[in-house]
Amino acid sequence: MPDSPVHSVINSLKFHHVGVGTTSFDESITVYQKLGYELLCSMNDDDLDLRVAFLEKDGSPLIEIIAPLGPDGPLKSFLSRRIFPSPYHTCYATDHIHEAGACLKELGFFPLGEPKPSRALNGALFAFHYHNATGLLELAQSPAIWIQDVVRDGRPT
């Protein structure tokens, strides 16, 4: 790809995490802890109808554990197809979420909504995009401070 605005925005994306969907939220966290991961935060996001946790391990990508709070949330289609437990998206941080979304669209991704704030990402904007060949990709606006300032081990910091 020649050096272009699309190329420079896409090259600036930083891998942030792998999203793992589950219906066994606490058990999933326990398994990753046994694999050497440390729980960074865990919370219910009532606005999104999700339970969310982030875990970290030195030298490894962040893991986001996601589980439904109710039967009609954004994971409904995954649950009905019995896709979980499974990794189901990758997330990339960007300083320019709207421009990155436009670039992904030029590359054949379909936006699944407008960027909106994420409680789990300290209010940073996020948006999902889908491509038939690669599946679900999340963009997250890079906040000044990531997850650590939201909740640690279930307690506000």
Other CB atoms within 10 A of residue 53 CB:
25
Measured CA to CA in angstroms, residue 89 lies from 34, 64, 151 at distances of 22, 10, 23
Q: Provide the β-strand partners of residue 139.
A: 92, 127
pLDDT, tens digit (0-9, with 9 covering 90-100), for 43-53: 998 888 889 99
* The token pair that represents 98 in the structure block: 């709207």
Alpha-carbon distance 78 to 100, whole Å? 26
Please, which pLDDT band fits residue 109 given cuts at 50, 70 and 90?
very high
For 88, the enclosing helix (H) or strand (E) is strand 86-94
What's residue 141's pLDDT? 92
Cis status of the peptide bond prior to 111, with omega within 30 of 0: no
Name 110's Cβ contacts closer than 8 Å, sequence gap at least 6: 129, 130, 131
- CA-based angle 151:119:137, to the nearest 5? 115
What's residue 156's pLDDT? 39
pLDDT, tens digit (0-9, with 9 covering 90-100), for 65-103: 999 888 777 676 766 677 778 888 999 999 999 999 999
The amino acid that residue 134 corresponds to is T
Q: Are 8 and 85 in contact (CB under 8 A)?
A: no
Alpha-carbon distance 8 to 82, whole Å? 38
**Which residue, 128, 133, 42, is CA-closest to 91?**
128
